[in-house]
Amino acid sequence: MFEIARRLAKKHEVHVVTRRFGGLLAEEEHEGVHIHRVSVVSGRPTLESVSDGLTFMIKNLIRGLSIKFDVCAPQQFFPLPPCWLLSRMKRVPIVPTIHDVYRETWLQKYGKKGILMSVFENLTLKMDYERIVTVSQTTKKKLVRAGVPPDKIAVIPNGVDVQSFQKVLAKKCTRPRIVYIGRLVRYKHVDHLLHAFSRLSTDSELLIVGDGPEKPYLQALAKKLGIQERVRFEGFVPEQKKIKLLKSSHVLVLPSSTEGFGIVVLEAWASQTVPVVSDIPALKELVQDGKTGLLFRLGDVEELSRKIGRALEDPMLRRRITKKAFKLVQDKFSWDGVASQMDALLRSVSAS
């Protein structure tokens, strides 16, 4: 949202309604984007919190009534109902971005609360939108299966700011380094990575960047496997540090069973780091095995360990993959190009 909004703001008036946390201003302008923050119950970032979601929907609707706009472009879940109502009240088109469709995975992710989220997702997908933007062909297929007409779906991928990566100076670590970046939740399967790492013969280190409910379990597992001295849990880190850690690593691992896109793969490419990822559909759209990264069978810890070892032990393979991947991310996945596609779509919808 930020990368696209700040680029669209160079040509258009852009307003973003979001949640208010930690003493942030209720109103401010940042890089040309008008930001409106509404308070929620918890006062902190929480994933799919029902109370926060309901509060945000009501306040989003109220705040949106005072903003004049020609097209509404919400991101998935809680912003959809209030933005849909606003678009109908103001008689302007609505073009939401749906990053992924979870359906059967809600229960796995959130237990009993997942039933409510599944119903909510199903209802929002049945609303009438002028167009829907999604980030991959994989998610487009999920949307079609959920009943969305295929001619209403536009696929516009995520991107990366390659120049910002090039500005951060960092050398590859002298010791073989593996990094994971993402939330520490069950469907990311970071435990598979820990098991695979414990089987490596190479004297390497593993960085776990991110936070989440699985962290205590993963820390205990690292200790149980006897690898706690070679595993560092970094928690959430600032953007500049994240880029440094990526650029200093030789391999990025993403062992997820659910992804709508996998933006961290693009960040690995921009960092000239080899991505080793599970062979789920969304990640296979990005990674060609042996050409722009390495694939392993989802859940196959032994194969994951072999693929990591292969990437660490073969510098020629790493150079070949990173060279091809870096060119690909420059040519196809720049945020400037992505924002131009979004600009063209929103213009066409608002003009019709």
CA dihedral sign of residues 219, 221, 223, 229: negative
Provide the Cα torsion 232, 238, 241, 243; round to 10°.
Answer: 110
Contact at 8 Å (CB) between 74 and 50? no
Q: Tell me how far apart the alpha carbons of residues 318 and 313 are, in angstroms, rounded to a whole number.
A: 9
Q: Where are the alpha helices (DSSP H) in the chain?
A: 2-8, 50-65, 80-90, 106-110, 113-125, 137-145, 162-167, 190-198, 215-224, 239-248, 263-270, 281-286, 301-313, 315-332, 335-351
Q: Tell me how far apart the alpha carbons of residues 165 and 153 are, in angstroms, rounded to a whole number.
A: 31
Q: Tell me how far apart the alpha carbons of residues 194 and 255 are, in angstroms, rounded to a whole number.
A: 11
Task: Name the phi and psi angles at 275, rounded to 5.
Answer: -85, 130
Q: Amino acid identity of 68?
A: K
Tell me how long the chain is: 352
Q: Tell me how far apart the alpha carbons of residues 96 and 165 are, in angstroms, rounded to a whole number.
A: 29
Contact at 8 Å (CB) between 190 and 184? yes
Q: Copy the structure tokens of residue 159.
A: 């991107």
pLDDT at 23: 83
Residues of the chain with pLDDT under 50: none
Q: Amino acid identity of 253?
A: V
Question: pLDDT for 300-334, tens place per residue?
Answer: 999 999 999 999 999 999 999 999 999 999 999 99
Beta strands 205-209 and 177-181, pairing class: parallel
Can you list the domains of the chain with their CATH numbers? 2-159+334-351 (3.40.50.2000), 162-332 (3.40.50.2000)
Question: pLDDT for 10-20, tens place per residue?
Answer: 999 999 999 99
Task: Name the phi and psi angles at 91, rounded to 5.
Answer: 55, 50
Nearest to 79 by CA among 68, 65, 64, 100: 64
Task: Name the phi and psi angles at 24, rounded to 5.
Answer: -65, 155
Q: Copy the structure tokens of residue 58.
A: 């009501």
* 0.75 exceeded by pTM: yes
User: How would you write 154-211 as a 3-class SS string?
Assistant: EECCCCECHHHHHHCCCCCCCCCEEEEECCCCHHHCHHHHHHHHHCCCCCCEEEEEEC
Q: Is 334 helix (H, G, I), strand (E, B) or coil?
A: strand
Question: pLDDT for 262-275, tens place per residue?
Answer: 999 999 999 999 99
pLDDT at 108: 67
Nearest to 258 by CA among 312, 207, 185: 185
pLDDT at 48: 64
Contact at 8 Å (CB) between 184 and 233? no
Contact at 8 Å (CB) between 178 and 133? no
